[in-house]
Amino acid sequence: MLVDNLLAYHRDALQSMGSEFLSGYCTLVEGEKDPRNLVVAFKLAKVILTEFDLGDQAESLFDITFCYFPITFKPPPGNPDAYGGITAEELTQGLIDCLSATPQFGILVLPLLLEKFQAPGLGPKSQVLETVIQAFPIYGRAAVAEFASLFWESFLVEIFQPNTSPSQDFLRLLERACQTLFSTVFPAEVEFSPSGPLDFIKQALEVVMKELHSPEKSRAVPATRLVGWIVESGANVTDVILPTIDTSVGTLLHLWKATKTATGDDVLLKRTSILGHLSTIFSSIGAVTSKQATSVHLSISQWLTSSLRHDILSISIKEVLENASCTDPLLQVAALRTLVNFVGIPDTLEMHEANDVIGTVTRLLLSSDENEITNAVIENLSTIADSHPAAVASVTLPELFSKLPSANHLPSVEASPPIPPVTSAKYITILDGLASLCDRATLFDSFLVRLFDALESSCNAAFQVSVKEFLSLSDGNNRNQPFDYRAYSHHLLICLHTVIQAKINSFNATLKSPASDMEECAVTATQARGIIGRLFEILLCEGHALENLPAEGGGEASGVRRDVDLNAIREHCTIRNDKRIVINAGQIINSLMGQLDFQQQQDVVIKLHECYSLGNVTEIVAESRNLSSASSATRSCKIERGFLPMSVS
């Protein structure tokens, strides 16, 4: 405590004492073992190492500090509050802060870190990696470059030949340590070339390429992972990143071409593996070009020549995804992910190329019956929507909605409702795809218009089918198993609710971010009120559907059966008798009410009261006009006197 106060209030005087103070301090703290005192000692040492002229005392300060590395302290079993609740993590960070406080420690620490990294167990190795990450930038390029090859070889052993199965935390440390090594030895800000020892990067790439030449072998996976680490390291673009990308991608493309003439059982595995490795590399390229400076972006754009783009697109699309002979789902999924990660690299493709890619992926969703493929398509379509929202809006949405069941052309009363060409399993897959895409602002409005058109068509069809059965216009024993429009309407509402809830959840997560200054809601008040009104319009205004049924004896459609009360038909046949649909609609409305302010909520509640209590649906249905892109004008609901909107049999 005394030394702490002296450093806090008399630092200038202590600095003027020079070596005399530093020598005395070293003598004072040497051999300290109490964890409580060590926490304080590490903090004091960091101040001294940072702000004092160490002179000839640098090695003495190093000796009294590094002797504690690695930290092995553990609180007594069952008593974590012993020693004031000090933890091993607190001591470790304090020690690393000291070791990374001055460049003068570099030549002293580096050889000993190499030695400690050879120790068994992940604990000491993890502390070495944490020190590397924090200390290398402080020690600087010259000091680290002298030991770069030795550290690289040590890291490679842990990557390719670990003694124990590494945890994810350890792999993340190893990744950051490798990246710190490259970014320190080859600084990005150095404009002249070479920015570091080119023999080292040549050695590093030789090791990686050796493993990639056997892409189907297990060691190729960490080799590819290592390529991604280097690409995302922040090292010099000219000397490190571009050579790594060019060499690895070039090697894999050459290997792919060689498989065209190869035979044997391992060809399929090799082709799938090559695409998997390309996908990993493209993912890293996309990550680094999205977040780093324009120099990286520009260099990558220059590397991606039209010839290279053609090769990659041709492999993924023509040779796999659109090749009728390529039926292996693993190969198709690998090609899909490669394609999507390639498209995810900013400014990779021309507009027509992007549209072709998105069209291919969309058609794959519609044509495949393999769950593994359709799940991968849905996942990757979502990724594409983030990078190419306009193309997805113009290509994917119309294509997906066009393949949903259509009830626009109902059969005559005498005929049975046809089974649409899309099965329930397929339309659910399409709705899953829409649900994963349409929470984005660029797609949401178009999605609402198209989905409500489909919902209105389906609900009307369900109502008409029920009316026919009620009037005994159907024999009730249809061998063709009429399409279940109620179930379809139920699934459409689930899709709508999923999209709305995804928008709200995403908005709430962004709102919690400290950097967020967002004030609006996930769904605007206009959208929310329009959706509520459209739901009531579709679910309440079914009376007009009776006009589409032929009158008894083929007369005018003024009354289907003169002896049947129309209100009785409505109450017996309404789509609202399906509890699933009522529950779905209620969930959607509950979610949307939370997007309105108090006055807006009060206004909607008043209209709901008039609807439920008085049977006046006009005001709540009129809210549908808030959907500015609605494809049709609001209808006048023909409600008979005494009709209760939510009556069920």
Percentage with pLDDT > 90 across the chain? 52
- How far, in Å, CA of 207 to CA of 276, rounded? 19
Q: Is 629 helix (H, G, I), strand (E, B) or coil?
A: coil
Q: State the pLDDT at residue 293.
A: 57
Q: What is the pTM of this model?
A: 0.80
Q: Give the mean pLDDT of the chain.
A: 85
Task: Indicate if the pLDDT at residue 367 is higher than 70.
Answer: yes
Q: What's the pLDDT at 76?
A: 85
Q: Are 285 and 345 in contact (CB under 8 A)?
A: yes
At 637 the pLDDT is 58
536 SS3 class? helix
Q: What is the pLDDT of residues 567-580, one digit of tens each?
A: 777 778 888 889 99
409-432 pLDDT tens trace: 444 434 444 444 566 788 999 999
CA distance 378 to 347: 23
pLDDT band at 344 (very low <50, low <70, confident <90, very high): confident
Q: Higher confidence at residue 423 or residue 377? A: 377
Burial (0-12, 13-18, 19+ Cβ within 10 Å), 330? middle
Alpha carbons 269 and 502: distance in angstroms, whole number: 37
Tokens of 482: 């009429």
Over 418-443, what HEC string results?
CCCCCCHHHHHHHHHHHHHHCCCHHH
Q: Are 250 and 225 in contact (CB under 8 A)?
A: no
State the pLDDT at residue 306.
Answer: 84
**Mean pLDDT, to the nearest integer, of 483-505?**
94
What average pLDDT does range 69-75 have in this prediction? 92
DSSP-based three-state secondary structure for 644: coil
Rounded to whole angstroms, the Cα distance separating 255 from 259 reads 7
Residue 295 has pLDDT above 70, yes or no: no
- What is the model's pLDDT at position 497? 97
Return the higher-pLDDT residue of 627 and 605: 605
Reported for 145-151, long-range contacts at CB under 8 A and 24+ positions apart, including other chains, are 145/185, 145/196, 145/197, 145/200, 146/110, 147/110, 147/111, 147/114, 148/181, 148/185, 148/197, 148/200, 149/200, 149/203, 150/114, 151/114, 151/181
Tell me the C-alpha to C-alpha distance, in Å, between residue 383 and each of 16, 187, 341, 343, 378.
61, 32, 8, 9, 9
The per-residue pLDDT for range 523-557, each reduced to its tens digit, is: 899 999 999 999 999 988 765 656 655 555 444 44
